[in-house]
Chains A and B, each alone.
Chain A
Amino acid sequence: MPPGELVSALHSDVAKDALVVTFETNLIALALILLLGTPTAYWAATRRSRLRDLVVTLIELPLVLPPAVAGIGLLAAFGRLGLLGGTLDALGIDVAFNKVAVVLAVTFVASPFYVRTAVSAFEALDPTLPAAARTLGAGPGGVFFRVALPLAAGGLGAGAALAFARGLGEFGATIMFAGSLQGVTQTLSLAIYEQFDLDFDVALAISAVLVATSAATLLSVKLVTRWRSTSSSPIPSVASSPLSS
């Protein structure tokens, strides 16, 4: 198939709508993952307890669960007849067949990619640095925002990119939990699935977009990681100072 036809196939409404839905839901999901995942990861990285191991295991679970199980789990928890369905309904939050459902599905399957990487990034910090900051009068919030967060930024960025790349391709949990409707819940993966029977060229064109986006995301992780490791930082000299001894 010539590239020209591939591009023209992308001009179909199905492809355009799917592109918008995918990026809209994935950016919201990514924001949620960063907001909730970062403090959780920091907590997990600075604790050594059974509770910590349990929490980390639960967070990692979606990583190895089949998407179908994730879909069932989301329905059992957030479905209208699920555990929290009544509560959400009472709060006026409707999660059936709308973008909220897609965001939940993406957040659920993609969050471990970020949190896992973020825990490692926080654990890799030199423990003397937060200690030094505390001796200089920084509170827990100051240590987190002005020491831990900037130092772990590279790892956090890599984790966020991985989570985003995973979320873009989310399929199983979404089709089970959010359904598929063009312009509302039909993401790129769901559009490929639908178009496969209808118009193979459109399916192929959307697939090419996903391949390109994912490749670009993964490549950017490598570039950022390399840039950070080559750019010099004043950290080593601080770390070698005998503050904590």
Chain B
Amino acid sequence: MRARLLTVAALVALVASATLASGATARTHADPLTIYAAASLTEVFKALDGAQRYSFAGSNALETQIRNGAPADVFASAAPLNAERLFKAGIVDKPVTFTANRLALIVPKSNPAGITSIYDLRSKPVKLVVAAPAVPVGGYTVTVLRKMGLSSVLSKVVSRESDVKAVMGKVALGQADAGFVYVTDARPVSDQVSVIRIPAWAQPRVRYEIAVVSKSPNKAAAQAWVRMVLSAKGQTALKNAGFLPLPKASS
């Protein structure tokens, strides 16, 4: 009891000092856009343009928030479905595909369950963490397992998380034995997790779509920002972060 509480007390001090240190960041841009983006875009979007305001979460959560009037200017979704539904409801302009991704299985560096292949998930006792089915990466995970004839593995799921970063965190912390994420999520934490590749034939079609919110008060700036993501600059940043080029040649 006391050890636990002392740990918490130490953490409070740590967090407090970290917050004070980072609070002084000045905003250079006069009027930043509010960009709602899939959690898997966290690192690449921040690196691409640090001057905007971001809200990263599961695309399904962002879709619900925008549908309920969240003040977003741009919506970048990890699955076409979420963007297309908002487009059909007249809430966002026509979405365009801007990048693609692949899935990977990750295990903690210590690899407590001794997973070296995806098929180990079937034979070994494992605490598997996935995203909820409504979250894009959760849906893609189900597809991968079905294609590999491993759907029974879903019975070993111990938690369905709200976005891909939550899956990442549970595995990186060693709390879970394995989890399905995008290959791009494993890169920033490659010192904490090992990546087990998923064969190309089992990969789902992971396409990201981006759209300007129709009622955005900064529409011109939002459209320019979407063009920037589609431009060579944006595409290079995505490629460097491990995202795949567009399935077809983009103009």
CB pair A69 B134 closer than 8 Å: no
B175-A80 in contact (CB<8A)? yes
B136 to A: closest C-beta gap in Å: 12
Q: Distance (Å) between the CB of B84 and the closest chain A CB?
A: 16
By a CB distance below 8 angstroms, the chain A residues around B8 are: 61-62, 65, 69-70, 73, 76-77
A43 within 8 A of B: no
B159:A97 contact, CB within 8 angstroms:
yes
In the complex, what distance in Å separates the CA atom of A70 from the CA atom of B61? 24
Q: Is A197 within 8 A of B134, CB to CB?
A: yes
Interface 1/0s, chain B 93-131, versus A by CB < 8 A? 000000000000000001010000000000000010100
- Complex formed: what's the CA distance from A69 to B4 in Å? 12
| A72/B11 in contact, CB under 8 A | yes
Interface size class of A (residues with CB under 8 A): 35 or more
- With most chain B CB atoms within 10 A of its CB, the pick from A75, A178, A179, A194 is A179
Point out the residues of chain B lying under 8 angstroms from A74, CB to CB.
Answer: 4
Residues 107-140 of chain A, each 1 if its beta carbon lies under 8 Å from chain B, else 0: 0100000000000000000000000000000000
What is the count of residue pairs linking A and B with beta-carbon distances less than 8 angstroms? Answer: 98
A133 CB, nearest partner CB in chain B, Å: 29
Some 20 contacts from A to B, beta carbons below 8 A apart, are: A55-B2, A58-B2, A58-B6, A59-B5, A61-B5, A69-B12, A72-B11, A77-B3, A80-B174, A81-B173, A81-B175, A96-B127, A97-B176, A98-B158, A179-B159, A179-B161, A193-B162, A196-B61, A197-B60, A198-B134
Whether the Cβ atoms of B12 and A77 lie closer than 8 Å is: no
Q: Which residues from B are CB-within-8-Å of A198? A: 60, 134
- As a 0/1 sequence over residues 1 to 43 of chain B, the CB contacts with chain A under 8 angstroms (1 = contact) are 1111111110110010000000000000000000000000000
CA distance A184 to B156 in the complex (A): 12
Q: Does A180 contact B (CB under 8 A)?
A: yes
Residue A185 is within 8 A (CB to CB) of chain B in the complex = yes
Report the Cα distance A182→B157, complex, angstroms. 11
Residue positions of A touching B, CB distance < 8 A: 36, 55, 58-59, 61-62, 65, 69-70, 72-81, 83-84, 96-98, 108, 175, 178-182, 184-185, 193-194, 196-198
What is the CB-to-nearest-CB distance from A204 to chain B, in angstroms, rounded to a whole number? 13
Question: Do residues B63 and A61 form an inter-chain contact, with CB atoms below 8 A?
Answer: no
In the bound assembly, the distance between CA atoms of A69 and B170 in angstroms comes to 16
Partner of A61 from B9, B61, B112, B174 at Cβ < 8 Å: B9
> Which residues of B125-171 are within 8 A (CB) of A?
127, 129, 132, 134, 157-162, 170
Q: Determine whether the beta carbon of B175 is less than 8 Å from that of A75.
A: yes
If A77-B4, A81-B174 touch, does A180 touch B161 (CB 8 Å cutoff)?
yes
Contact status A76-B11, CB under 8 Å: yes
Residues in A with CB closer than 8 Å to B240 are none
A58, B5: Cβ atoms closer than 8 Å? yes
Q: Is the CB of B159 within 8 A of A185?
A: yes
CB distance from A25 to the nearest CB of B (A): 15
Residues of A within 8 A of B159 (CB): 97, 178-181, 185
